[in-house]
């Protein structure tokens, strides 16, 4: 069995209206597609077209979002609830969220949107060779994953969703998560106009993760651009991203891909599939596996190589989520789930000419000449 290729019959169900599509395939998106599919889905499409291994999927576009919000009258209700609200009044923000979110989740999509989403989900299931293929349903806001402000984590992600009706339901939940108290407050503080904000919802084949985690192509603790840092745990990456566990930690030389530091942690919890409910749930890691390295060295090297490719493609340090699918053989089972610009160290003024070039080798050489210890 080989890794999933990206070719899918791209034609969605016929649309009665002219203009932007309501639904589109991820491989039809590029980094310039942010206004149509948000930062997350645009990045996934860009990665697919750069030859990076990404689970296939599709997205409800921002046009679909706007049609849903205007067609149900929710947009006007949201504007009325948020009018004059104080970004520092937490009680008022939560009260507004409690009114808006149930209203969004209670309204069905139009028949046109439902038909197109169901047809794309059917084609995705056929492509993956699985009836009612399990998918991740992820929000992708147009103000998310920008280089100068990270909105990541402001909206929700739902894992191991099966069936067209459940996909549609969780799409509405993703849309409603645009209006959590925290998300409303963040946009107000950042002075993002809600009238210009839209959300897309991505639907991707769920990688049945044996191990997953995050990778930075810059050291997140000190800004060292000569290394790649990988954190991992068994199961889905939820436990690593949320900070529920202390993950295994690997530091890789960006030029040679040698592992120059490793810390194997005691991992008490991981997320896996509940086969009865077909949902993701936290389980205790068996005692005999808690201190076992969750990635083999070959996987660490391949991940680092993929990280270098992604950084080179974007021309900047990246924050990457990844997964290793246990249903596929080695050599084609590492998937990139998300990649966004690193927004902390990469925004700081760079003090040396070597760093300004963005070359890891130049940085290493300048550091050696300066007598700085690397790794």
Q: Which H helix or E strand runs over 65? A: helix 62-72
Short-list 360, 324, 357, 318, CA closest to 341: 318
> Two tokens at 130?
């699985």
What is the reported pLDDT for 2? 39
The angle subtended at Cα 149 by Cα 236 and Cα 91, nearest 5°, is: 80
What is the reported pLDDT for 183? 86
Cβ distance 210 to 326 under 8 Å? Answer: yes
Q: Give the burial class of 326: count Cβ atoms within 10 A of its Cβ; 0-12 exposed, 13-18 middle, 19 or more buried.
A: exposed
User: What's the CA gap between 28 and 45, in Å, rounded?
Assistant: 7
CA torsion through residues 39, 41, 42, 43, sign: positive
DSSP state of 35: H
Burial 186-212 (b: 16+ CB within 10 A, else e): bbbeeebebeebbbbbbbbbbbbbbbb
What is the reported pLDDT for 114? 97
Which CATH superfamily groups domain 209-369? ATP-grasp fold, B domain (3.30.470.20)
Domain boundaries, the chain: 23-205, 209-369
Q: Quick one: fold of 23-205?
A: Dna Ligase; domain 1 (3.30.1490)
What is the reported pLDDT for 19? 84
For 357, other C-beta atoms within 10 Å of its C-beta total 13
Q: Is the pTM of this model over 0.85?
A: no
User: What's the CA gap between 34 and 94, in Å, rounded?
Assistant: 28
User: What's the CA gap between 65 and 176, in Å, rounded?
Assistant: 11
User: What's the CA gap between 28 and 25, in Å, rounded?
Assistant: 5
> pLDDT truncated to tens, each residue of the chain (375 aa)?
334 444 455 545 444 456 899 999 999 999 899 999 998 899 999 999 999 999 999 999 999 999 999 888 898 899 899 998 999 999 999 999 999 999 999 999 999 999 999 999 999 999 999 999 999 999 998 865 444 444 544 557 888 899 999 999 999 999 998 899 998 998 888 887 777 778 999 999 998 899 999 999 999 999 999 999 999 999 999 899 888 999 999 999 999 999 999 999 999 999 998 777 767 789 999 999 999 999 999 999 999 999 999 999 999 999 999 999 988 888 899 999 999 899 888 666 454 433 434 445 554 555 445 444 444
What is the reported pLDDT for 10? 52
What is the reported pLDDT for 328? 87
Where are the strands (E) in the chain, listed by range? 23-25, 57-60, 135-141, 157-161, 199-205, 209-216, 227-234, 248-253, 259-263, 269-274, 279-284, 318-325, 334-341
Residue 329, Ramachandran bin (φ over 0: left; ψ between -120 and 50: alpha; else beta): beta
Short-list 323, 326, 236, 321, CA closest to 285: 236
For 120, other C-beta atoms within 10 Å of its C-beta total 26
What is the reported pLDDT for 186? 86
End-to-end CA distance of the chain: 38
User: What's the CA gap between 95 and 86, in Å, rounded?
Assistant: 12
Q: Give the burial class of 147: count Cβ atoms within 10 A of its Cβ; 0-12 exposed, 13-18 middle, 19 or more buried.
A: middle
């Amino acid at each position: 069995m080989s890794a999933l290729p990206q070719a899918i019959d791209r034609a969605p169900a016929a649309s009665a209206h002219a203009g932007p599509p309501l639904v589109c395939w991820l491989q039809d998106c590029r980094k310039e597609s942010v206004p149509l599919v948000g930062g997350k889905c645009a990045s996934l499409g860009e990665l697919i077209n750069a030859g990076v291994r990404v689970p296939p999927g599709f997205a409800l576009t921002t046009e679909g979002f706007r049609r849903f919000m205007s067609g149900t009258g929710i947009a006007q209700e949201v504007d009325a609830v948020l009018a004059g609200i104080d970004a520092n009044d937490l009680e008022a923000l939560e009260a507004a969220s409690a009114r808006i979110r149930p209203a969004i989740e209670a309204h069905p999509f139009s028949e046109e949107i439902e038909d197109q989403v169901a047809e794309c989900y059917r084609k995705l299931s056929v492509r993956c060779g699985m009836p009612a293929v399990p998918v991740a349903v992820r929000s992708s806001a147009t103000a998310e994953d920008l280089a100068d402000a990270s909105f990541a984590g402001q909206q929700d992600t739902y894992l191991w969703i099966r069936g067209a009706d459940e996909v549609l339901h969780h799409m509405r939940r993703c849309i409603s998560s645009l209006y959590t108290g925290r998300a409303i407050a963040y946009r107000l503080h950042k002075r993002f106009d809600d009238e210009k904000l839209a959300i897309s919802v991505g639907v991707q084949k769920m990688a049945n993760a044996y191990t997953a985690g995050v990778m930075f192509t810059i050291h997140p603790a000190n800004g060292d651009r000569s290394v790649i840092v990988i954190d991992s745990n068994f199961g889905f990456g939820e436990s690593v991203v949320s900070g529920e566990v202390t993950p295994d930690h690997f530091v890789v030389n960006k030029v040679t891909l040698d592992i120059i530091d490793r810390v194997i942690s005691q991992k008490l919890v991981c997320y896996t599939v509940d086969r009865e409910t077909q949902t993701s749930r936290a389980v205790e890691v068996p005692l005999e596996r808690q201190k076992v390295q969750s990635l083999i060295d070959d996987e660490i090297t391949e991940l680092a190589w993929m990280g270098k490719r992604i950084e080179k493609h974007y021309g900047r340090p990246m924050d990457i989520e990844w997964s290793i699918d246990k249903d596929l053989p080695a050599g084609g089972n590492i998937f990139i789930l998300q990649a966004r610009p690193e927004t902390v160290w990469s925004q700081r003024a760079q003090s040396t000419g070597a760093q300004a070039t963005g070359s890891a080798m130049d940085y290493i050489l300048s550091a050696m000449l300066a007598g700085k210890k690397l790794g």
